[in-house]
Amino acid sequence: MQLRTFLEESGTSVSKFAREIDVLAKSVYRYMDGTRRPSPAIMYRIVTATAGAVTANDFFNAPVCEPVHT
């Protein structure tokens, strides 16, 4: 799930979420519009704060791969 979608669906403001993950609100806006990608440490905080709804893969334009069963 995209971060923007998560915030909209959860009714969480950008400023509140920014405080929760300990970054500036302008950084969250940049993560949402794709002009900046969070560092691994910030990605971990985002995944944790969203209970896994937003993952590191959501910051890349690659599809999520399903495991291959052999």
* 3-56 CATH choice from 1.10.260, 3.40.50, 3.10.450, 1.10.1060: 1.10.260
Residue type, 42: I
User: From first to last of its 70 residues, what are the pLDDT tens digits of the chain?
Assistant: 999 999 999 999 999 999 999 999 999 999 999 899 999 999 999 999 999 999 998 988 755 556 666 6
Domain coordinates of the chain in residue numbers?
A: 3-56
pLDDT of residue 29: 95
Residue type, 17: F
pLDDT of residue 60: 83
What pTM, to 2 d.p., does this model score?
0.84
C-alpha distances in Å from residue 62, one per residue of 8, 16, 49, 56, 65: 22, 28, 22, 11, 9
pLDDT of residue 34: 87
End-to-end CA, the chain: 28
pLDDT of residue 54: 96
